[in-house]
Structures are given as structure tokens and as C-alpha cells.
Structure 1
Amino acid sequence: MTTTETADRTDGIGIPARPRGDLLAAMMGLTTCLLPFLVPAGPGNTAPADLGIMLCIVLAVLWAVREQLPIKLPYIAGVTGLVLGGAFAAFVTDAPVGAALVVIQDLLLLAWAVSLALGRHNLAIVGAVTLAWCRTAVVYSAVMSVAYLVGINALTGVSAKDGVRASYTFGDPNLAGNYLVMSLFVMAACQHPRSPGVRRLSYLVVLTAIGFTGSNGAMLTLLVGLVLAFTVTRYRRQGPVAGLATLAATALLAGLMIAFVMPRVDLGQIREQAAGSVPLLRDSFGRSANSSSERATIVREGTNLFLAGDAAGFGPARTKATLAATQAPYVKEAHNDYLATLLERGLIGAIGLLLLGVAVLVRCIRLVVGTLPKAYAELVPRPWLLAIIGPVMATAAGFYEVLHFRHLWTWLGLVAALVLAMQDEQRKAS
């Protein structure tokens, strides 16, 4: 079946159907379903989704070669900088083999995004991935929320390490919360489930699962995303003046709260009350002061480490080991992509991260201001909400290391596919 025939077939409700025998689209959908299942981890922190990712890459190459499809390499400049910076730092510092594995992960995730970008040639890829993501997020959240309420800790990942916070099958509450926040915006962009009532209920289910993670970072990024989503939606519906007015009003309100309200609020007392109340509040907001202090210490030690070193970096995933070797008083990973990149991959890696950020920003802007081809718009009716994930993840990168999150690169691949399809349509029209 040709690509054109694939685009013409629908399932009767306007959603392109998966072509028969399209193993690539089916595998990408299955791999997307596996994204939340990271524990128990295999060797090198591998997960079931990694096997699917590698198989999808092979199938994508075979399909592209057979059909003689042009392969674009989105984000290649940024990832090249990250890889070169990491490899150079590892060589200079004679880092162990584990550092090389991090560089291989960079290349594997880029290849996954490039494979997903082939969705510009086949609607079935975009349809399978978006549908699988939306349905998986809802079902996963429902099952995990019930398990949390019933007390099945083996399934919810609740342990003494994180108190009553749920990490589910991610191994970390913050990672779980980040995936679920991103899933909310994917659902909103794709308008899945199609029924408005069912969709609102699904949002509530996912929000409940986010709440059980007790992730302050997830709540912050959710707030950032909601403000931007409201602003951009106003822009799309009423024009740039309405969008800018909304953004200005939000900024003014935030400024007034910071200047006049926050100084009159005793956050310490609120944290103490939270720490002595509901266990979930105790282990999330109640410990936010300690978390903020720890992160400030990490940033301070990381900055001192960079200033004491050179511009080459210490090697990928070597921040903790380097701090230990220098007898730093607080030995932890950077928990910050910006600092981690500068420390571990040096100036070369920092330039690569900047180029990657610019590439993502440009594509997000195109989704906000542009119009998708009709067939793709049926799959993603509100692409500007998909673009909101960009600043959401940029915010999260300030207190997580998100560059190796599989769901981040799945989103990047989808964004690339939609923007490329938009550009193809514009070339045909001109």
C-alpha cells in the first residue's frame, strides 16, 4: 500500500486507519505503550521500551530504503554537540565505559525521534503513537490510582525512601509525575478521548495519579503549562493582541503576588503544618524547603566544580563521582540538565544543548502559528497544545535531568513529523 493510499483510508470517524501490514506503525504504537514501564530495570537501566525502540529504528530504516524516502535528521546539530562534548570529556578524563554508554543513549534516542519523524510520510505512524499514548496514560493512571488507594505498594512503587509518594513503574516519583503531566497536554492536543465528557473524566484520572506522586516539580510544570496553554489558545482563537494581553495580565498578576502577597505569607509555617498533616503533603510540600536547599547546594557545588576545572567537562554521568573525588561536602548528581551538561560535557556540550533548545523552540513556534494539513489536523486538532510541552520540559530541566527521558524524545519525534508534514504541504501549495 502506498503512502497516498494510507492517507486516504479512514476508520469512518475521520481518523486515518493503520494500513494492513504496517508493522512499523504497530510497533511504534506498542513501544509508546511501554514507555511508563521502567522498573524492574535491565542491564544499564534498560527497559522493555528500549527493545521496541531498537526494533522500530531497524524497521524504519528498512522501510525508508525500500520506499526511497528522504530521511530528515531533526535536532542533529544539538545532539552532535552533546555527543562530541561528552566523547571529548570522556577521552580527556579517561572516564570509564559507563560514560560511553551515555553517549550511545544520546544516539539511540535521536534515532528514535528520526524514526518517528517518518510520520510525515505515513499518517499511520502519527495516529498509532498519539492514540497509544493517550489511551495508555488514562488506563495506566486509573490502574495506579486504584492500586495506591488499595495499598498495593509493589505496583505503586511506594517505599520508605520517598515516604508515601508513588513512583509507580518509573522508579522515581518526579519522573512519573513528569510523564503524566506531558501526557495531559498530549491528550489535550489530540482531543483523546473524543467524547468531551469522557475526556474531562480522563483528565481528572491523570491529575489524580499526578497528585499521588507528590511531585512539586510536576505541579510547577503543570501550572506553567496551563498558563501557556490558556495564553496560546487565546492567541489562536482571537489573535496576537488577545494572546499578548493574556500573557501580560498573567505576568502582572504573578509580579503582584511576588511583590505584595508572598512577603506576607509565612511559607515556613505552612510547610510545618503540611509536614504534620496528611502524609502525602508531608512528603511533598512539607519537605519542599529541604529539597530547595539541597538543590541550591548542588548548584553551588557544581558551579565551584566547573570554575575549578576546565572547559572540557568531566565526562557524561560523572558529576557525582567527581564531587566524591574532590571530597565535596554534598555528593549528588546535578539534577539539572543545564548544570549537568556544562559540568559533564563542557562548553562543546553546552553549545549543543543550546542548539537543541533552538531547534525545539523553532518547531514549537511553527506548531503555534502554522496550520497542519487536514489529515494531520484530524489526528492532532490542537497542535499548539503539543507545542506547550516545550517550555514545560525546559522548566523541568531546571530540577531534573530530562535529556534521557524516553517520553521526551517520543514527543520530539512527533513534533518533527508534524512540522515536516506542514512544510511538505506548503511546498505543494507554492
Structure 2
Amino acid sequence: MSTSTQPVRPAGIVGSPGTPRGDALVAMMGLTTCLLPFLVPAGPGNTALADAGILLCVVLSMLWAGREQLPIKLPYATGVAGLILGGAFAAYVSVAPVGTALVLIQDLLLFAWSAALALGRHNPAIVRAVTVSWCHTATLYSGVMVPAYLVGLNAITGVSAKDGVRAPYTFGDPNLAGNYLVVSLFLMAACKHPRSPGVRRIAYLLVLLAIGFTGSNGAMLTLLVGLVLAAAVTAYRRRGAVGGLAVLASAALAGGLMAGFVMPRVDLGQLREQAAGSVPLLRDSFGRSANSSGERATIVGEGANLFLRGDAAGYGPARTKATLEATQAPYVKEAHNDYLATLLERGVIGAIGLLLFGVGVLARCLRLVFGNLPKAYAELVPRPWLLAVIGPVMATAAGFYEVLHFRHLWTWLGLVAALVLAMQDQHEEA
């Protein structure tokens, strides 16, 4: 009578003898990442081709993890559970239409996508496929869109009368396009892709131009926030806490001087009028900033009144506009703000979930800033602290967009989870 024992695999990285690497899953994740920018034409419920890839990746990851008996972690689960439960409870209490269930299904799919990407802790090839695909896609995408915009190929850039001369590209929304490109810029810097420094500088320039052509004020603001934080965390990694604090102090001083001495002496209204009558791109971006700010202030004011007149349960996912219409509000629009939208649509339960979700993201970003990746992952993401900068960038963007349904947000979250889990595996092995 003989007994056989299962060989013990090293924790963290799959690829020991006899262990399949999940090549189909790796290839599909890379392809799906390439599809993230292509959101128009949209299918039913604003679905896109990338969603089919995401669903297939989730299925493949479950099969691969089950076959290899890999431990599965569900990063951000507590916060996401609060968001989904809050939305479901609000929909039930408010007797929301059955169609609101689609929003909750989208929440689950995006969460499952990030959990599938987190399996990269077991196989660096997953992280390599996603990061390389993302960086190369952003570079090639900008390399096509920038010349197309300059020569006026509106069929490619998506420019239409609705947004003036602002380019939504294949996203259907200039702000969404701008946000994707800002995130891509920091991802490229974190991964140092393309590898050639000269080519990478050209890629940075192309992406910056593509961001500029979206005319998104929000994208420009988040880009500035990201650049300041990137300089601070890079100084910290190179020169310690003193270097990082010096950068932050310098930025705060410059901001204070601008706010205290420069801005009071500048007539923003006149500048906007000049911009509105000059270059079309300035007219449709900075020239409209006063109206845009006024609209957002009105939305926040109406949303706050709606919450105070309602109850703590919420009105149901994606129900802000419909509820404003039902209450005959003077200005009917979606919240365009994740913080307000969560409170209105998912109630107190959802707001607590969003808080826990934010804490989970912050904790992982801090690990990337202060910790060190295992060698196999450090070669793929040489500057992980720049990947962490995307966290505050998206938190800022959430103040004027609803970013929780951005596919590229959850792709980034999955990458962050994979890297942090790999760091934990390394610590446990030591």
C-alpha cells in the first residue's frame, strides 16, 4: 500500500513544476485591458465589448483557481458589500423599478473583475499582461487620437456639437476620456513603460496632448493633484520623510500664495470671457468653467435638500435624476458626485460602505508607498508609489464624477490588490 502526497507549492507565485500557469487567463486579461477605452457604440445598459472580456476573465479565473486550489482573496469586500446592500435595501424600500438591479449586477461584475486581477499575487504574468497592455494601449491610442484631432477626423475623435470641440474619443464623454488618460499616465510612469526612456517621453507627451484635447477641467485638476503627490512620494522614497514633506510644504506654500495674493488680483470672469471668445478649445473648457461650477453647486444643493426631505434608506441605485423629476426640482440631473450619489441612492448603509471602501483603498496605497515589492513584481512595477498616487487622483475625481462604475478604476484596484497581496506573501515567507 503506497501513499502519495501533494507537492507543496511556494506561496505567492505559481509556476513551480507541474503547475499550469493559466496562460488563457493571462491572455484574456491582457486583451480585456486593451478594450477598456472602447465604450462606444454602447450595448444595452451601457455595456461594452470590454464587459464580455471581464465576464470571461472572471469565469476563467474561477476555473483556474479551483483547479489549482489557490487561496482566493476578495479585496475591498467589506466596503463593496456595504455599497451593494445599501443599494439593494434602498431599492426595496423605495419600490424602485426592476431595472435598478442592473446597477447592482454591474457592481458585482466590477468587484469580481478586481478580485480576478488580484490573483496576480499567484502569477506575475497576470500583472505583466495587464500593465503592459494598458501602457501600450494608452500610448497607441493617444498616438492615433492626437493626429486625428489635429486634422479634424471627428469620426475617430468623437467630436460633436454636444461637447463643442472637446474630444470624447471612444468613451462617449470627454471627462471619462480625460480621467482614463490621467490614470494611464501615472500607470506608465509607475511601470516605466514603454521601456525606452526616449519613447516613454514621447508617449507621455502624446497622452498629455490627448488629455488636453478632451477639454476636461476635472482631468486637468486631478492631473495637477497627481503630479504634486507623485513628486512628494518620489522625494520620500529617495530622500526620506524630510524630502517628501519639503515637496508638500512647497506645494502648500505656492497654493497659499496663489490663493492669497494672485487670485484676488485676477478677474476670473474677464479671463473666462476672453477664453470664451478665443481658441475654441479654451472656450469649451476653461471658458465654461463658471457655468459648470454653478451647475455642480446647484446639483449638490438640490441633492442635500433631497436627502434632508427623505430618509436614511436612500432612493435606490441610479435614481437621483428620476427622484428629482418626481419632486419637481428646478434642476434635474444626475448627482455627478460619488459621495452625494451614494448617500442619496444607497442611504446611510451605502455611505458607511463607501467609507470602508475608501479606508481599504487608502491602506493598500500606503503599503505601496512605504513597502517594497517582491523582485518578480518590482521588475514589472519599478515605481509602485506612483501607482498609489492614482488613489487620491480618483478620490478627487469622485467629487465631480461618478467614478465607481469606471472600468479602469476597478482594473487599477485589482492591480493594487495583487501587488499588496504579493508583498504580504513575501512577508509571511520571511
TM-score using structure 1 length = 0.96
Bigger mean CA offset, 173-182 vs 242-251: 242-251
1:310 aligns to 2:311 (yes or no): yes
Which structure 2 residue ranges, 5 or more long, are not aligned? Answer: 1-8
Shift of 1:147: 1.4
Partner of 2:405: 404
1:272 aligns to 2:273 (yes or no): yes
| Conserved? CA contact 2:27–2:129, under 8 Å | yes
Amino acid at match of 1:288: S
Partner of 1:322: 323
Aligned CA RMSD, in angstroms, stands at 1.4
Amino acid at match of 2:398: A
- Secondary structure of the 1:170 match is coil
Bigger mean CA offset, 154-163 vs 167-176: 154-163
Bigger mean CA offset, 273-282 vs 149-158: 149-158
Amino acid at match of 1:156: T
Partner of 1:79: 80
CA distance 1:72–1:272, shift in 2 (3 Å)? same
- Secondary structure of the 1:400 match is coil
| Conserved? CA contact 2:75–2:417, under 8 Å | yes
What whole-Å deviation, never above 9, does each CA across 1:265-319 have from its counterpart, x for those lacking one? 1111110000000000000000000000000000000000000000000000000
Partner of 1:395: 396
1:203 aligns to 2:204 (yes or no): yes
What whole-Å deviation, never above 9, does each CA across 1:238-289 have from its counterpart, x for those lacking one? 0011111211121122112111111111111110000000000000000000
Q: Distance in 2 between matches of 1:22 and 1:97?
A: 39
Amino acid at match of 1:185: F
| Conserved? CA contact 1:314–1:344, under 8 Å | yes
CA distance 1:68–1:159, shift in 2 (3 Å)? same
Partner of 1:96: 97
- Secondary structure of the 2:170 match is coil
Partner of 1:54: 55
Partner of 2:110: 109
Aligned length: 419
Amino acid at match of 1:412: L
Amino acid at match of 1:172: D
CA distance 1:275–1:327, shift in 2 (3 Å)? same
Q: Distance in 2 between matches of 1:352 and 1:68?
A: 30
- Secondary structure of the 2:403 match is coil
Partner of 2:3: none
Q: Distance in 1 between matches of 2:284 and 2:138?
A: 24
Alignment of 1:328-347 (within 5 A): 328-347=329-348
Amino acid at match of 1:81: G
Partner of 2:222: 221
Partner of 2:421: 420
Partner of 1:386: 387
Q: Distance in 1 between matches of 2:184 and 2:99?
A: 31
Shift of 1:98: 2.0
Partner of 1:143: 144
Q: Distance in 1 between matches of 2:413 and 2:366?
A: 14
Partner of 1:159: 160
| Conserved? CA contact 2:88–2:104, under 8 Å | yes
Amino acid at match of 2:238: R
Q: Distance in 2 between matches of 1:243 and 1:7?
A: 38
CA distance 1:20–1:104, shift in 2 (3 Å)? closer
What whole-Å deviation, never above 9, does each CA across 1:318-355 have from its counterpart, x for those lacking one? 00000010000000000000000000000000000000
| Conserved? CA contact 1:6–1:124, under 8 Å | no
Amino acid at match of 1:379: L
Amino acid at match of 1:101: L
Amino acid at match of 1:147: A
CA distance 1:395–1:199, shift in 2 (3 Å)? same
- Secondary structure of the 2:225 match is helix
Q: Distance in 2 between matches of 1:368 and 1:197?
A: 26
Q: Distance in 2 between matches of 1:418 and 1:153?
A: 39
| Conserved? CA contact 1:7–1:375, under 8 Å | no
What whole-Å deviation, never above 9, does each CA across 1:144-199 have from its counterpart, x for those lacking one? 11111121212111111100000000000000000000000000000001111110
CA distance 1:339–1:376, shift in 2 (3 Å)? same
Q: Distance in 2 between matches of 1:242 and 1:381?
A: 20
Bigger mean CA offset, 92-101 vs 328-337: 92-101
Q: Distance in 1 between matches of 2:342 and 2:262?
A: 36
CA distance 1:21–1:374, shift in 2 (3 Å)? closer
Alignment of 1:17-56 (within 5 A): 22-56=23-57
Stretches of 4+ aligned residues off by more than 2 angstroms: 2-9
Q: Distance in 2 between matches of 1:152 and 1:353?
A: 41
Amino acid at match of 2:408: H
1:286 aligns to 2:287 (yes or no): yes
Q: Distance in 2 between matches of 1:315 and 1:370?
A: 40
Shift of 1:6: 6.1
Q: Distance in 2 between matches of 1:78 and 1:329?
A: 34
1:301 aligns to 2:302 (yes or no): yes
TM-score using structure 2 length = 0.96
Bigger mean CA offset, 373-382 vs 149-158: 149-158
Q: Distance in 1 between matches of 2:34 and 2:174?
A: 19
Amino acid at match of 2:160: S
Q: Distance in 2 between matches of 1:215 and 1:108?
A: 28
Identity of aligned residues (%): 80
Q: Distance in 2 between matches of 1:261 and 1:187?
A: 34
Partner of 2:129: 128
